[in-house]
Amino acid sequence: MTDDDVKRVAARDFGTAQAGLALSIVEEFGKQDWNRPSPRVWLAILKLANGDLDRLPEITATAIADYRDVLAWAEYPRYSREIGFHDAPESTKQAAIDDDWKQYCRWLGRDASDQREDA
């Protein structure tokens, strides 16, 4: 996950006209003494916003408070919903992790002509 990925996804999801604004919002994460700039977190914020500029400030604020929340919701949505902090068989946990990884890779790799999917 790189800065180039963040720029590409911002342009893809928000269009070139709003990509700069979207980036300026997500890049608020990392300006705090307790957070470091992170393309991984910026991508999680973009994924959760799903192209909705109005959602970016709230999701960014959540990341600033505790970036682990946005990483879990963006990168491990099934695991977070179905397992979370509960005990489950290792095979169930691994299946959720595998599904989440495939879904994330599809999201990251899609282009602007692909239809948006739920985060």
State pLDDT tens for residues 19-54: 999 999 999 999 999 999 999 999 999 999 999 999
Q: Is residue 52 part of a domain?
A: yes
pLDDT of res. 94: 83
- What's the number of domains the chain is made of? 1
Q: Model pTM? A: 0.81
In a domain, 75, yes or no: yes
* Domain boundaries, position 44: 3-109
70 belongs to a structural domain: yes
Calculate what percentage of the chain has a pLDDT beyond 90: 58
Assigned domain for 14 exists: yes
For residues 80, 114, 16 and 52, what is the CA-based torsion angle, rounded to 10 degrees?
Answer: -40
Residue 74 within any structural domain of the chain: yes
The C-alpha atoms of residue 31 and residue 52 are separated, in whole angstroms, by 23
Asked if residue 119 is part of any domain, the answer here is: no
How far apart CA 9 and CA 2 sit, in angstroms, is: 11
Name the token pair of 7.
């720029």
